[in-house]
Structure 1
Amino acid sequence: MSAGLYFGKPNLNFNVMLTNPKTGRTIMEDLEDPEDTEVEITDTNGKSYTIKPTDDGQAIIDALFGNSVKPYLGLGFGESVPKNRVGVKFELGAYYSGKMKFESPNVVQGDVNELVLLGQDYVAKAIYWTKWLPVMSLGLTIGL
């Protein structure tokens, strides 16, 4: 059994192309006024979000994996100091990351964390499962 802490905040960066589901074209192609590039989205509860995409119709979204300090718990077998000349060790464990959060410079009004979840059940499930990050370690030890 092993335990520890991981310090760091890994993140993922996404460039999302915003398209009009009715026309299949990018929202920049559907704009009536090229000077007004802000797009307003209203969900079924009446909450509105305003997005100002890049010039090519994309939104940049950063996914941050929860906490900066992540506790680790693992279970394994093997030896760090081998009894023989060569040894093998194996460990399975997981970091507790906390809830994933999102940031975007393109969302100018509204909560980007709520916007990411709009109508996407699979995104909510993926966010739930990223609270725990699995780790598998296989090591070879050589005594000199």
Structure 2
Amino acid sequence: MEYVGETPLAGEQTIEDEVRLDAKFGRTYADLKFDVYPFGNRGNFFVTAGLSFGGSDLLSIKGHSGKVAEYGPTIKDYGINIGDYNIPFDENGDIKGGVKVKKVRPYLGLGFGRLIPKRRIGFRFELGAQFQGKPKVYAGDIDNVLENKQVTDAVDEETKDDIAKVMDWLKVYPVMKFSIRGRIL
């Protein structure tokens, strides 16, 4: 990911800088779920509920700007925008931040198939959702949650950028699973 920006210095001076950002998406989690078969042994339809556990980092970014390090505190409001948030560079020209969600997320789903198939081989299909809450943007330390630059509710939907729309949608993380199962005995 690259970012090119112009930053006003004292008076009318500007600098141009190209910053390389390293971004990582993290989606590792483990599930504790309980399946209920409402039709018992007669049907393969099931409802599942439980919790998904995992790291809170959904997205993490790191980068460095030589120009920001060179000019230091004379540069103001120089950073990376994620939706309505601005992650600023520190005085050394480094930038670190990302998007986090809850570590423990409730899960609900519907599916078809058995955990242990009735025959030698079977399949299992599940559609569900993790309810992870509204994603939060942070800068530097993961505990440094940023405040929105403007009130999101007051923003007209047409002027809202794509990242802000995605962050509003990410309150629910959709899950689709398909597996082929086997039985030893």
Question: Hey, what's the Cα distance between the residues in 1 that align with 2:63 and 2:147?
Answer: 15
2:60 alignment partner, one of 6, 13, 26: 13
- What is the one-letter code of the residue matched to 1:127? M
Structure 2 gap segments, 5+ residues each: 1-46, 79-85
Supply the distance in 2 between the matched residues of 1:124 and 1:14 (Cα, whole angstroms).
17
Which residue of 31, 47, 50 corresponds with 1:4? 50
RMSD: 3.4
1:130 partnered with 2:166: no
Rounded Cα–Cα distance in structure 2 between residues aligned with 1:27 and 1:126:
31
Contact 2:121 2:181 in 1 (8 A): yes
Match of 2:73 in 1: 36
In structure 1, C-alpha distance between the alignment counterparts of 2:132 and 2:48, rounded to whole Å: 17
Q: 1:6 to 1:143 in 2, by over 3 A?
A: same
Letter in 1 for 2:54: G
Aligned to 2:4: none
Q: Which has the higher contact order (CA 8 A, sep 6+)?
A: 1
Question: How many corresponding residue pairs?
Answer: 121
| TM-score (ref. length: structure 2) | 0.53
Question: Does residue 59 in structure 1 map to residue 95 in structure 2?
Answer: yes
Give the Cα–Cα distance (whole angstroms) in 2 for the partners of residues 54 and 88 of structure 1.
55
**1:138: Cα distance to partner?**
1.3
Cα offsets for 1:10-58 (capped at 9, x unmatched): 311023677xxxxxxx8639x7xx34255237xxxxxxx8934364x45
- The structure where strand makes up a greater share of residues is 2
Q: 1:104 and 1:96 mapped to 2: Cα distance? A: 24
* Distance verdict in 2 for CA 1:88–1:135, change over 3 Å: same
